[in-house]
């Protein structure tokens, strides 16, 4: 959507287009990240910071030459993640993850967490994965 | 007669034509809310205003204002199937990663209202036209952004180039659709109603004692609200907004601009509890300096969403404290882009 990156929810054609509400990431995505630089990072969780408006996850990523670098990944608002069944025990330090996102324009080792999966491709926190998730109590 | 007077005159005619239509938007209901200990209708509780209904009616729906029950059931089924596909499909590394996947926003989907748009007046379900003054303000805002654009990238030279929302000060009232954190709590005490919005932790304290608005030189990001009871309906009149806050169709048509200065806007909100789990929230927006006529939105606030049942479901939103990386990345990123420019 032009100057801001959006995720379009819904919209499977026909009448459903009626509620293809654009969802804008909170913080001027285009100011922070380079939409021409998608990046895939595979690493282990070093730290999780539960801060608004978006949480941050630090991953230790081993490069091709064996050097380990810390990457900071912007993830969802803590409120949304709590509701989704994510808590401080969900990702123990050392958990291996794959992050698909866009690299920060600042040149720092930062990226947005467009999606976060386990190495076997499972998406985090699918419906049914957490009995405390309100989605599973309906 | 100046063109401005003509515009205001046309606006007043529109107001006179529109008011009865807007007044008819509230659902007829015989449902009677309980009363507080001091006798006011009791609106207290935790609600969400998340919805899947768009603010403006898609043009392909033409004059269709409401869905039939059968259409709603069909849409609901298809939306659920789309949600499952979106949230549970495996991630395809070959596709662009997008902003944030459904994991982060999935618990905020809301429901369809039954109307084809949140805007119910004008009758076409779309925003009214902008006045010449508003068109000029919009053009100036866009020219300012164009002047600090490299390629397709807007340059942020200073923190002040970001909106008040991005800087965690306040979201504009009225609250309509947003990606997440649609929770809201209503509290009442004798003489006051308090509305607490989860996102930004904005709190509106609304006196009911008939006092006048504050002096017009006092400008507030959430405006100055005064309430009264009209039967079982809470009517809130808000003025004294600030031009530093901008409200507008960023999320209506997705074209990326942050909307118009809010200073001259006047909102009339009507809160009516129409059943045990629903407040019908009706808001009429007036600003003859910006819009060629007033416009009205109907957006149910729902109390039966499992995500928002208790006051503690509205989590703390300490936005300022957590926002340092965003501003750092945006400013450093812009400077890196400027430095990468070939010398002229």
Identify which has the larger pLDDT, B138 or B178: B138
Q: What is the pLDDT of residues A112-132, one digit of tens each?
A: 887 888 888 777 653 333 333
Q: What is the pLDDT of residues B2-48, one digit of tens each?
A: 444 554 454 444 444 434 344 444 555 678 999 999 999 999 999 99
8 Å CB contact of A22 and B100: no
A6 touches chain B (CB under 8 A): yes
Can you give the pLDDT at residue B317?
A: 85
Domains of chain A with bracketed CATH: 29-136 (2.40.50.140)
Whether residue A10 has pLDDT greater than 80: no
Can you give the pLDDT at residue B303?
A: 96
Residue recorded with tokens 């109907």: B298
Whether residue A22 has pLDDT greater than 70: no
Extents of the domains making up chain B: 3-67+112-339
Confidence of residue B237 (pLDDT cuts 50, 70, 90): very high
Q: Report percent pLDDT > 90 for chain B.
A: 50
Q: Chain B residue closest to A23 (CA)?
A: B179
8 Å CB contact of A9 and B86: yes
Select from A54, A75, A101 the Cβ nearest to the Cβ of B97: A101
Mutation target for A interface from B68, B101, B307: give the one with most A CBs within 10 A: B101
B109 touches chain A (CB under 8 A): yes
Q: Which of A81-95, B81-95, B131-145 is predicted least confidently?
A: B81-95
Window 17-56 of B: residues touching A by CB (8 A cutoff) are 52-54
- Chain B partners within 8 Å of A40 (Cβ): 93
Whether residue B126 has pLDDT greater than 50: yes
Can you give the pLDDT at residue B257?
A: 58
> ∠ CA B112-B30-B18 to the nearest 5 degrees?
60
Can you give the pLDDT at residue B73?
A: 93
Q: How many CB atoms are located within 10 Å of the residue A137 CB?
A: 8
Q: What is the pLDDT of residues B148-189, one digit of tens each?
A: 888 888 888 998 888 888 888 888 888 887 777 889 999 999
8 Å CB contact of A135 and B100: no
Window 184-213 of B: residues touching A by CB (8 A cutoff) are 198
Whether residue A6 has pLDDT greater than 80: no
Query: What span, in angstroms and rounded, lies between the C-alpha atoms of B245 and B170?
Result: 8
Q: Chain A residue closest to B77 (CA)?
A: A16
8 Å CB contact of B105 and A9: yes
Can you give the pLDDT at residue A76?
A: 80
Whether residue B259 has pLDDT greater than 90: no
- Give the gap in angstroms from C-alpha B210 to the nearest C-alpha of chain A: 37
Strand A110-112 vs strand A68-74: parallel, antiparallel, or unpaired?
parallel
Identify which has the larger pLDDT, A25 or B310: B310
Q: What is the mean pLDDT of residues B84-105?
A: 68
Confidence of residue B103 (pLDDT cuts 50, 70, 90): low
- Does the pTM surpass 0.90? The reply is no
Can you give the pLDDT at residue B97?
A: 67
Whether residue B118 has pLDDT greater than 90: yes
Can you give the pLDDT at residue B174?
A: 87
Identify which has the larger pLDDT, B9 or B202: B202
Q: What is the mean pLDDT of residues A27-38?
A: 78
A136 touches chain B (CB under 8 A): no
Whether residue B95 has pLDDT greater than 90: no
């Amino acid at each position: 959507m032009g100057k801001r990156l959006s995720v379009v929810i819904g919209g499977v054609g026909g009448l459903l287009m009626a509620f293809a509400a654009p969802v804008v990431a909170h913080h001027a995505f285009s100011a922070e990240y380079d939409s021409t630089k998608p990046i895939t990072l595979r690493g282990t969780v070093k730290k999780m910071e539960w801060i608004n408006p978006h949480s941050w996850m630090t991953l230790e990523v081993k490069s091709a030459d064996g050097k380990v670098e810390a990457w900071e990944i912007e993830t969802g608002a803590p409120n949304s993640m709590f509701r989704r069944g994510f808590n401080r025990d969900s990702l123990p330090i050392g958990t291996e993850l794959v992050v698909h996102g866009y690299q920060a324009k600042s040149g720092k080792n930062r990226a947005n967490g467009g999606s976060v999966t386990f190495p076997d491709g499972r998406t985090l926190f699918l419906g049914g994965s957490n009995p405390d998730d309100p989605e599973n109590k309906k | 007669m100046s063109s401005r007077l003509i515009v205001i005159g046309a606006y007043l005619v529109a107001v006179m034509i529109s008011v009865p239509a807007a007044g008819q938007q509230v659902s007829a209901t015989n449902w009677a809310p309980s009363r507080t200990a001091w006798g006011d209708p009791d609106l207290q509780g935790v609600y969400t205003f998340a919805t899947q209904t768009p603010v403006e009616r898609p043009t392909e729906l033409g004059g269709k204002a409401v869905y039939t029950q059968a259409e709603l059931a069909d849409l609901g089924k298809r939306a659920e199937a789309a949600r499952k596909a979106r949230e549970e499909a495996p991630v395809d590394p070959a596709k662009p990663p997008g902003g944030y996947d459904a994991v982060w926003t999935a618990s905020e989907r809301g429901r369809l209202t039954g109307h084809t748009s949140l805007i119910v007046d004008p009758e076409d379900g779309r925003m009214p036209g902008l006045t010449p003054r508003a068109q000029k303000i919009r053009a100036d805002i866009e020219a300012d952004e164009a002047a600090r654009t490299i390629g397709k990238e807007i340059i942020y030279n200073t923190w002040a180039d970001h909106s008040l929302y991005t800087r965690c000060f306040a979201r504009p009232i009225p609250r309509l659709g947003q990606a997440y954190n649609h929770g809201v709590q209503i509290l009442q005490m004798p003489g006051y109603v308090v509305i607490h919005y989860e996102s930004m932790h904005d709190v509106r304290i609304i006196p009911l004692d008939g006092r006048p608005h504050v002096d017009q030189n006092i400008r507030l990001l959430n405006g100055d609200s005064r309430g009264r009871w009209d039967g079982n309906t809470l009517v809130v009149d808000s003025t004294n907004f600030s031009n530093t806050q901008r409200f507008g169709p960023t999320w209506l048509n997705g074209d990326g601009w942050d909307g118009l200065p809010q200073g001259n806007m006047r909102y009339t909100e009507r809160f009516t509890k129409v059943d045990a789990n629903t407040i019908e929230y009706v808001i009429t927006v007036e600003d003859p300096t910006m819009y060629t006529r007033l416009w009205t939105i109907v957006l149910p606030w729902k109390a039966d969403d499992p995500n928002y049942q208790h006051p503690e479901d509205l989590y703390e939103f300490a936005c300022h404290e957590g926002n340092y990386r965003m501003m750092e990345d945006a400013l450093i990123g812009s400077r890196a882009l400027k430095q990468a420019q070939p010398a002229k």
